[in-house]
């Protein structure tokens, strides 16, 4: 299991937790490398790799030429030769040049070599909006990756998960797309450290009886806020944080929905053909007889990500989630049950 682990609870930002995870992984395993654009002297545009080049040296933490396909492609070659590259894509939309390497090679190499070649590459991608970013800096691109068999897709909602999930991602024999909710980089929370409990398990963040909010990444905080606000309206809301988008933890999610009988999936990405559609389908297929209402989605609109001045209208917020909860056919309860 993981050594060089940070222990003892402190309060840190998510960016600092990620930085610590990288440092501990570099310390624990000399096969680990960190590279990408501006990750060296600058420490990354979000400072997630701050100080790592100075501490671990240029051979292990380094800036590459500016070419995302080249970054992922060379990482694949390095992983084939026994190293464990952790690469940074500077922003969500700037990972697209690497799409072919990710989908045609990274995701498939284990399978097409019948397990003889492993490519334990971690691709860190700051994603999502809410930071006043201009175009191409705010995409929620999770569905592109979750639709690709062979990839693990993980996203933390808290600093503690950021640390533990990233350590697990680096230890994983499978390739991992590690999506970092950039608007939560500076949000602080306790960091317990220690090895992760379960890399591919969802977690119930808040217990409640009436309705399950299913969220991940940047929307976990929004869901928790909504749960507080909903209390005033008389609803007791449970919040499930998915953490692992692929594979999907049916067990934890469905157990919650069976308890509450109602569910709303919340994500920033556009709804059409989005990740939430998969969640709704899975929950409906598995929990149909426990449901008192259709499972609803609260998502970004089906538009290109809007400019800073308008993004507040696009991003799901507490009010929009409360509205969705309100639409869960509370009045029909008896009728539906009796029908």
Residues carrying an active site annotation: 137
Structure token digits, residue 46: 């979000």
> Which residues have a Cβ under 8 Å from the Cβ of 319 and sit 6 or more positions away?
none
Contacting residue, 41, 42, 54, 117, with another protein by CB under 8 A: 117
Contacting residue, 29, 118, 225, 278, with another protein by CB under 8 A: 118
Stretch that binds another protein, among 14-22, 77-85, 184-192, 226-234 (CB under 8 A): 77-85
Q: Residue 50's closest CA among 75, 30, 27, 21?
A: 21
Stretch that binds another protein, among 112-120, 181-189, 270-278, 289-297 (CB under 8 A): 112-120
Q: Residue 153's closest CA among 131, 127, 191, 135?
A: 127
DSSP 67-105: -HHHHHHHHHHHHHTT-EEEEE-SSGGGGGGGHHIIIII
Interacting residues with another protein between 188 and 207 (CB under 8 A)? 200
**Binding of residue 248 to another protein (CB under 8 A):** yes
Contacting residue, 29, 38, 250, 278, with another protein by CB under 8 A: 250
**Binding of residue 36 to another protein (CB under 8 A):** no
Contacting residue, 174, 180, 238, 311, with another protein by CB under 8 A: 174
**Binding of residue 75 to another protein (CB under 8 A):** yes
**Binding of residue 82 to another protein (CB under 8 A):** yes
Contacting residue, 78, 162, 213, 269, with another protein by CB under 8 A: 78
DSSP structure class, residue 307: P
250: burial class by Cβ within 10 Å (0-12, 13-18, 19+)?
A: middle
The span from the CA of 153 to the CA of 179, in Å, is 7
Can you give 98-111 as a three-state secondary structure string?
Answer: HHHHHHHHHCCHHH
**Binding of residue 100 to another protein (CB under 8 A):** yes
3-state secondary structure of 214: strand
Q: Which lies closer to another protein via its Cβ, residue 176 or residue 265? A: 176
**Binding of residue 67 to another protein (CB under 8 A):** yes
Contacting residue, 1, 81, 331, 337, with another protein by CB under 8 A: 81
CB of 65 to another protein, least distance (A): 5
> Which residues have a Cβ under 8 Å from the Cβ of 98 and sit 6 or more positions away?
68, 69, 71, 72, 73, 89, 123
Q: Residue 330's closest CA among 294, 299, 297?
A: 294
Residues at the contact surface with another protein, assessed by CB under 8 A: 33, 59, 64-65, 67, 69-70, 72-83, 85, 97, 100-101, 104-105, 109-118, 149-150, 152, 172-174, 200, 247-248, 250-251
């Amino acid at each position: 299991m993981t050594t060089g682990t940070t222990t003892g609870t402190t309060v840190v930002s998510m960016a600092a937790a990620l930085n610590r995870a990288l440092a501990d992984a570099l310390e624990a395993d000399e096969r680990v490398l960190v590279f990408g654009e501006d990750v060296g002297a600058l420490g990354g545009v979000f400072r997630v790799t701050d100080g790592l080049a100075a501490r671990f040296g240029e051979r292990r933490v380094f800036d590459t030429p500016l070419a995302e396909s080249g970054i992922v492609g060379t990482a694949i070659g390095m992983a084939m030769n026994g190293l464990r590259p952790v690469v940074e894509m500077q922003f969500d939309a700037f990972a697209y040049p690497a799409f072919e390497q990710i989908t045609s090679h990274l995701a498939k190499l284990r399978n097409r070599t019948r397990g003889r070649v492993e490519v334990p590459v971690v691709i860190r991608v700051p994603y999502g909006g809410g930071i006043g970013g201009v175009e191409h800096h705010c995409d929620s691109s999770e569905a592109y990756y979750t639709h690709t068999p062979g990839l693990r897709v993980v996203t933390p909602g808290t600093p503690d998960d950021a640390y533990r999930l990233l350590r697990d991602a680096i230890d994983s024999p499978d390739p991992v797309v590690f999506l970092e909710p950039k608007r939560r980089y500076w949000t602080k929370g306790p960091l317990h450290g220690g090895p992760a409990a379960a890399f591919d398990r969802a977690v119930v963040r808040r217990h409640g009886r009436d309705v399950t909010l299913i969220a991940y990444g940047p929307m976990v905080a929004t869901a928790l806020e909504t749960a507080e606000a909903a209390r005033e309206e008389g609803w007791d809301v449970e919040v499930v944080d998915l953490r692992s988008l692929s594979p999907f933890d049916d067990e934890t999610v469905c157990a919650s929905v069976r308890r509450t009988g109602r569910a709303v999936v919340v994500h920033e990405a556009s709804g059409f053909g989005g990740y939430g559609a998969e969640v709704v389908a899975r929950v409906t297929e598995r929990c149909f007889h426990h449901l008192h209402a259709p499972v609803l989605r609260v998502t970004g609109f089906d538009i290109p990500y809007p400019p800073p001045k308008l993004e507040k209208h696009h991003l799901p917020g507490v009010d929009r989630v409360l509205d969705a909860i309100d639409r869960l056919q509370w009045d029909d309860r008896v009728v539906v049950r009796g029908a």
